[in-house]
Structure 1
Amino acid sequence: MSDARTKGRNAPTGPSPFRVEAEALPEAKFSDPVRTAKGELRASVPMTKLETLWFNTGTLCNLACATCYIESSPTNDALVFISRDHVAAYLDEIAATGLPTSEIGYTGGEPFMNPEFVAMLTDTLERDFDALVLSNAMKPMRRHEAALLDLKERFGGKLTIRVSLDHHTQAGHEGERGPRSWDAAINGLKWLSDNGFSIAVAGRLLPGETMEQARSGYAELFTAHNIRIDAHDPARMVLFPEMDETKDIAEITTECWSILGQSPADIMCATSRMVVHRKGEAAPRVAACTLIPYDAGFDMGATLAEASRDVSLNHPHCARFCVLGGASCSA
């Protein structure tokens, strides 16, 4: 993560999340889906099975975080609110085609700002999917406390809410999310913990910070606030790698799998897709990845069947976040 305290905090006005990278990287990199700038065969990832289907509920958010991957903010509606009916149509496709999807993830923006979100979340749980909701646990979520308590009572641990807490210190968190965001997030997380929800936290590594240092810091924080999360459990304390968009990054070739000791099956897009509804489009589309909703090269089609094809790793995020960073948005 780049140092948020050195960045401007003006809310974005449109979908331009990769402009910094586009200016900083050599022009020929990540331009050809088949070959790298050096002419080597670019790596791709085939879908093994669709385990997790994500829905972006819309880019509107109560915060304008300094390095938000898709520039969510109180004014950016580049991804409009997805509707309950559109979500239901994709869940119908899963049922009709027998896809092995067990988890439905919801991200934003802030999902609880979508006026139909609680209804679509209820539909998801009633269809016996596990539901993972990414939230900042602030006022938009707290407005739905009664509904959430009802869902927890009915479905228990099938509903997990993962709270974004960018650092285990107030300064680190508010450097990313802005002043007065810390107490509200901690209070929301503690409310979820005190009421017995299945919860997790997502954070980021600051420059120079090791994984063990970060986990120890979060463990101390959770103990101090009596929050029921094991900071050393990767499923419950998810730490994303530093994402400095101004730094150059290697392209991933087919030879990298053996060099790195990795398999394409280990990469997030082997088992997941995300549905987005871009402003100006008549209906939602399926994107290859939760991090790349705007790039036409990662638009996989209108249906899950169309979206089952291979994904060419033709974006800096593919290298920085997934292959070299080893991160995944799913549980």
Structure 2
Amino acid sequence: MSNAGKFQDPHRTQSGEVRASVAFTGLRTLWVNTGTLCNITCAGCYIESSPRNDRLVWFPPEDLAACLAEATAAGDPLEEIGFTGGEPFMHPQILPLLRMALDSGRRVLVLTNAMKPLHRHLGALAVLAADFGDRLTLRVSLDHYTQAGHEAVRGAGTWEPALHGLSALAEAGVRLSLAGRMTTAEPEAEIRAGYAALCRDLKLPVDAADRWQMVLFPEMDETAPVPEITTACWGLLGKTPDQMMCASSRMVVRRRGADRLSVVACTLLPYDLRFDLGASLAGARGAVPLNHPHCAKFCVLGGAACSG
């Protein structure tokens, strides 16, 4: 069994059933991809970030200002602005971007590996934490609670810099959460217990039993067979479309060579042009067909969400 022939028609599955879609319920989370350049190359990175991948370029502050103005004018219930990458702290203007988002009155969530690109901003982040308190959260990617497990994904030499960053952020008073990965080899309770022990050892103010403070993302293998999601699946799975990320979030990106931003339906799918919703938030309010393996594996079956 494979995914051959699946995820082709936005309206029908391979077997001819009606494909599930997600209606837009209002913009509550705006994701900003700061760019796909990263200081490391991780196994299984959702968007193939690396020191050489610049398919998404640095997101301009003026684009964020325009998005915030558009959301405000439209009366969107925008509560949260998330920054992802690549590694956001490689962006040369990341601090003005964060302050702009925080000055707008929204919560801000930054996804980071907490390595050397972040370390040079520790003083400035302490100032932001003092100015804005718990409205600023940094979610640090730590793929396993052991050095061997983490470095199997992130590469040799990535463990100690990440722990240094975590400890320094905690000392600076920055609100923290962690992001790890579920594995088929360990039950969730065991994984959370491992992270809890690590947090105690490092004196991190993170409750590993809390599903927001310790986020566990499902394993993503694009070669593994994934079922297509039909409208009948909602009832069978006991879920509803409005629980999916794309019901209330959009991501804005700048593609290399483009003269304008693009709004995309999902943080995981910036390259698939089927999920490009145009150049404005106003034009990106349509329903999203669940026409990609990530829709099924990550969101519907995995129950994962990137936002807080």
Question: Same fold, TM exceeding 0.5?
Answer: yes
SS at match of 1:308: coil
* Aligned residue number for residue 168 of structure 1: 145
SS at match of 1:202: strand
Quote the offset at 1:154 in angstroms: 0.7
Preserved contact between residue 3 and residue 224 of structure 2 (Cα < 8 Å): no
Quote the offset at 1:224 in angstroms: 1.1
Distance 1:170 1:215 in 2: 16
SS at match of 2:140: strand
Q: What are the equivalent positions in structure 2 for 1:175-324 lying under 5 Å apart? A: 175-324=152-301
After superposition, what is the alpha-carbon deviation per residue over 1:58-77, rounded to whole angstroms, capped at 9, x for unaligned? 00000110110100000110
After superposition, what is the alpha-carbon deviation per residue over 1:16-39, rounded to whole angstroms, capped at 9, x for unaligned? xxxxxxxx9443100100000000
Distance 1:312 1:327 in 2: 18
Q: Alignment partner for residue 83 of structure 2, among 103, 106, 109?
A: 106
SS at match of 1:41: coil
Quote the offset at 1:273 in angstroms: 0.7
Quote the offset at 1:196 in angstroms: 1.6
Unpaired runs of 5+ residues, structure 2, are: none
Distance 2:86 2:254 in 1: 13
Q: Match of 2:266, as an amino acid?
A: C
SS at match of 2:83: strand
Distance 1:178 1:121 in 2: 28
Deviates more, 1:235-244 or 1:249-258: 235-244
SS at match of 2:109: strand
Distance 2:100 2:161 in 1: 28
SS at match of 1:201: strand
* 1:67 to 2:44 alignment: yes
Identity %, equivalent residues: 54
Q: Match of 1:101, as an amino acid?
A: L
* 1:145 to 2:122 alignment: yes
Q: Alignment partner for residue 123 of structure 1, among 85, 100, 103?
A: 100
Quote the offset at 1:50 in angstroms: 1.0
* Aligned residue number for residue 17 of structure 1: none
Q: Match of 1:143, as an amino acid?
A: R
Quote the offset at 1:208 in angstroms: 2.2
Quote the offset at 1:146 in angstroms: 1.8
Distance 2:78 2:104 in 1: 12
* Aligned residue number for residue 9 of structure 1: none
After superposition, what is the alpha-carbon deviation per residue over 1:242-297, rounded to whole angstroms, capped at 9, x for unaligned? 21222101000000000111100111111111001111211110000000001011
Quote the offset at 1:207 in angstroms: 2.4
Q: Match of 1:248, as an amino acid?
A: P
Quote the offset at 1:301 in angstroms: 1.3
Structure-2-length-normalised TM-score: 0.98
SS at match of 1:53: strand
SS at match of 1:220: helix
Deviates more, 1:83-92 or 1:207-216: 207-216
SS at match of 1:217: helix
Q: Match of 2:99, as an amino acid?
A: T
Distance 1:132 1:49 in 2: 19
How many residues align? The count is 308
SS at match of 1:307: coil
Q: Match of 2:191, as an amino acid?
A: A
